[in-house]
Amino acid sequence: MPTQDKAIKRVVLAYSGGLDTSIILKWLQTTYGCEVITFTADLGQGEELGPARDKALLLGIKPEHIFIEDLREEFVRDYVFPMFRANAQYEGLYLLGTSIARPLIAKKQIEIARKLGADAVSHGSTGKGNDQVRYELAYYALEPDIKVIAPWREWDLTSRSALLEFAEKNQIPIAKDKRGDAPFSVDANLLHASSEGKVLEDPAEEVPDYVYSRTISPEDAPDKPTYITIDFEKGDPIAVDGEALSPATLLAKLNDLARINGIGRLDLVENRFVGMKSRGMYETPGGTILAVAHRGIESITLDRGAAHLKDELMPKYAELIYNGFWFSPEREMLQALIDKSQTHVSGQVRIKLYKGNTILVGRSSPNSLYDQDLVTFEEGAVAYDHRDAAGFIKLNALRLRTLAKRDRKLRG
């Protein structure tokens, strides 16, 4: 243990209640001799969180130092929806379900650390993954002098057997299904579930059916399509099938609709920020519908220049979130631009859900820029003179004609 860290008296741990973070909890107590405060976030992962409190108590944590908070509404309202306004997809495919959850968890840890005068914060991310970066960049952005303890980069518990031995030695309860190597690891929240490792490590092999937890197979989805409408106001969804819903309730509703129609699966090999490629399976059911729907309402309400600029900036915005820079000035600057673009992005889209497919079939808005008189093939009294196109084309062709004349001259 580094000498300078012996002064740590109190640490806030991001605690799931699972075996790994329970081992980390006890390791912090025994290695640093410090008081541990646990923070467990309900982000809609679908697990009962009461056992996390019970296990923390069992491991000697004071009741007043156990924090469990329902963050579902804040998560969707302040993190997921702003990201979807940008149509953010990392490397063109990944809807960033894990990435977007980390800054909120880190923010709450820092708030608790300030409230209780903690010296440090800790997380259970491994030394090979992206999450260690996301957590720690957020910690330092919010509290620049905070000490960070990352057990997976410090301890010598480098094997499953060593972890289990430590757990047994310290009387940490081990469920029967946790004694062997897990076939894959899972991270889940209201937006998505991600699975990585073990049976998924060979990108040439198809994902086994038992890995999927949020969606049924598209082959098993109903033979009849499901039609839904989604209402938007200033870029955010506010209602499904005419029913006004809170952000978290709305996303949960879309998750249910997508699940039974086999929508939202993604088998992806991505480039991690730390420098390696990894293969993962992501299920983002409601988010997949939302991404298509938001593009649909933007298609009739955003000016071409604004829409194209957004598309140019989106990869940078998505990369910032993926890499953990949610609290950076550049992400906040891009967010301001994106939010400004959404001023008139209001209206309704109609979506058809069918066997893994999300199909946009209609869109309408009181702010629509679509002018049927302008685009119709029928002649009429419209503010467009076909003859104007000739000059427009010649001006745009000027440099091409100039290049062609030069090349013809050089060819002799």
159 and 69 in a common domain: yes
Per-residue pLDDT tens over the stretch 305-314? 999 999 999 9
190 and 148 in a common domain: no
Mean pLDDT of 35-42: 98
What is the value of pTM for the model shown? 0.93
- Asked whether the predicted pLDDT for residue 34 surpasses 60, the reply is yes
Task: Identify any residues that bridge with 38 across adjacent strands, giving them in sequence order.
Answer: 13, 66
- How far from 15 is each of 54, 69, 333, CA to CA, in Å? 12, 12, 32
Mean pLDDT of 93-111: 98
Per-residue pLDDT tens over the stretch 214-259? 999 999 999 999 999 999 999 999 999 999 999 999 999 999 999 9
Query: Which tokens in the block code for residue 355?
Result: 């066997």
- For residue 181, the model assigns a pLDDT of 63
Whole-angstrom Cα Rg for the chain: 26
190 and 177 in a common domain: no
- Backbone phi and psi for residue 202, each to the nearest 5 degrees, phi listed first: -90, 110
Taking CB atoms within 8 Å and a gap of at least 24, the contacts of 212-217 are 212/265, 212/281, 212/283, 213/186, 213/188, 213/283, 214/188, 214/255, 214/259, 214/264, 214/283, 214/285, 215/258, 215/259, 215/262, 215/263, 215/264, 215/265, 215/283, 215/285, 216/259, 216/260, 216/262, 217/262
Mean pLDDT of 16-38: 95
Residues assigned a catalytic role: 20, 102, 131, 185
Per-residue pLDDT tens over the stretch 122-177? 999 998 899 999 999 999 999 999 999 999 999 999 888 899 999 999 999 887 66
- Asked whether the predicted pLDDT for residue 341 surpasses 70, the reply is yes
Mean pLDDT of 326-355: 98
In 185-333, the DSSP E strands lie at: 185-188, 193-196, 226-233, 236-240, 243-244, 265-271, 277-283
- Asked whether the predicted pLDDT for residue 380 surpasses 60, the reply is no
247 and 159 in a common domain: no
Residue with tokens 């303890």: 149
Domain presence at residue 404? no
Alpha helices in 261-328 (DSSP H): 285-301, 304-323
- For residue 2, the model assigns a pLDDT of 43
206 and 169 in a common domain: no
118 and 168 in a common domain: yes
Which range marks the domain in which residue 145 is found?
A: 3-75+98-181
286 and 217 in a common domain: yes
71 and 25 in a common domain: yes
d(CA 225, CA 357): 10
When the pLDDT of each residue in the chain is averaged and rounded to a whole number, the result is: 94
Domain presence at residue 356? yes
233 and 176 in a common domain: no
Confidence band of 75 (pLDDT split at 50, 70, 90): very high
Q: What is the CATH number of the domain that holds 133?
A: 3.40.50.620
- For residue 368, the model assigns a pLDDT of 97
Per-residue pLDDT tens over the stretch 269-280? 999 998 999 999
- DSSP secondary structure string for all residues of 357-368: EEEEEEEE-TT-
- For residue 160, the model assigns a pLDDT of 85
233 and 191 in a common domain: yes
